[in-house]
């Protein structure tokens, strides 16, 4: 991923070996968001500077993006593909200026700076600040989930926030499934996309539970619970991390990931490096 060069809006390949870049320590790349279409939003650190890119991993093509206000600490990033051919995408970036004496603090609220990048005009646009009650911050380890035309973020205190493609809240925040709160291993949970809808999965007394959020009624519906005895024979700490489709769940422990088939309870495993 080293030796970036090329014009904006023109896909280019990153040469794998670049001795100059390697010697300068110019090879720190991080994936901050992804889509099911295989589009990655990446941030590259070059010394004390940062640079944003969009990558199509299957073709190893990269596009350099104009930078947002990188001096503000990134809190969450989401990428939405609106059209595949020609490619049209948006990036929602939430950042924290960390202003201790901002007037929002007087109102008992935290705030996040909202920036939206639109590939059609190739610009970042700053939107109105996003306000949330103090201490109700984002779950830093939970990725954004794109489903039903919205982007969902998991918050602390078992809450969920839904944003539209301009980064505005689509409807009031709502809770994760109440039924799951009493589960012994509830903390091992994840928001997921399930058959085009917002889903939620966690370890349940019967194995792994999968819920789907019905936007029309604003309720969670338990779709299935599947035993995970076969995985527990090889690991004591299986944790649900995603749903690839209606049949395959991604689970992981400290050293491996497991592609678990919900229908026949078989799985394949792969080591983490």
Q: Where are the domains of the chain?
A: 1-66, 68-174, 176-273
pLDDT at 93 over 90: yes
Report the candidate in 166, 108, 100, 110 with the shortest Cα–Cα distance to residue 138.
110
pLDDT at 106 over 60: no
Q: Between 235 and 89, where is the model more confident?
A: 89
Helix (H, G, I), strand (E, B) or coil at 161: strand
CA separation, residue 80 to residues 21, 134, 169, 172 (Å): 31, 28, 16, 21
pLDDT at 37 over 60: yes
Q: Between 145 and 24, where is the model more confident?
A: 145
pLDDT in tens, 176-207: 998 888 888 888 889 999 989 999 999 888 88
pLDDT at 108 over 80: no
pLDDT at 233 over 70: yes
Q: What is the pTM of this model?
A: 0.85
The confidence score (pLDDT) of residue 261 equals 92
Average pLDDT, rounded, for the chain: 83
What is the mean predicted confidence (pLDDT) over 47-56?
Answer: 86
The confidence score (pLDDT) of residue 69 equals 87
Question: Could you tell me the maximum CA-CA distance found in the chain, to the nearest angstrom?
Answer: 57
| 238, two tokens | 């299986």
């Amino acid at each position: 991923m080293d030796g970036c060069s090329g014009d904006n809006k023109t896909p280019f390949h990153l040469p794998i070996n670049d001795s100059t870049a390697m010697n300068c320590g110019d090879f720190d790349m991080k994936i901050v968001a992804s889509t099911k279409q295989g589009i990655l939003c990446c941030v590259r650190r070059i010394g004390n500077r940062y640079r944003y890119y969009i990558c199509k991993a299957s073709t190893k093509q990269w596009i350099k993006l104009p930078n947002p206000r990188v001096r503000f600490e990134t809190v969450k990033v989401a990428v939405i593909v609106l059209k595949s051919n020609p490619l049209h995408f948006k990036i929602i970036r939430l950042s924290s200026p960390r202003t201790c004496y901002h007037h929002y603090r007087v109102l008992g609220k935290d705030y996040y700076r909202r920036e939206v990048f639109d590939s059609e005009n190739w610009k970042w646009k700053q939107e109105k600040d996003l306000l949330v009650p103090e201490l109700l911050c984002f779950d830093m380890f939970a990725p954004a989930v794109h489903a039903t035309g919205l982007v969902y973020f998991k918050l602390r205190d078992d809450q969920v926030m839904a944003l539209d493609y301009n980064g505005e809240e689509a409807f009031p925040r709502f809770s994760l499934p109440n039924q799951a709160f009493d589960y012994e291993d509830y903390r091992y949970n994840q928001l997921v996309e399930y058959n085009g809808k917002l889903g939620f999965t966690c370890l349940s007394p019967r194995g792994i539970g999968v819920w789907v959020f019905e936007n029309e009624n604003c309720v969670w519906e338990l779709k299935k619970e599947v035993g995970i005895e076969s995985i527990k024979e090889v690991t004591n700490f299986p944790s649900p991390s995603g749903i690839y489709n209606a049949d395959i769940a991604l689970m992981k422990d400290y050293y491996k990931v497991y592609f678990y088939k919900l229908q026949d309870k078989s799985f394949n495993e792969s080591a983490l490096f």
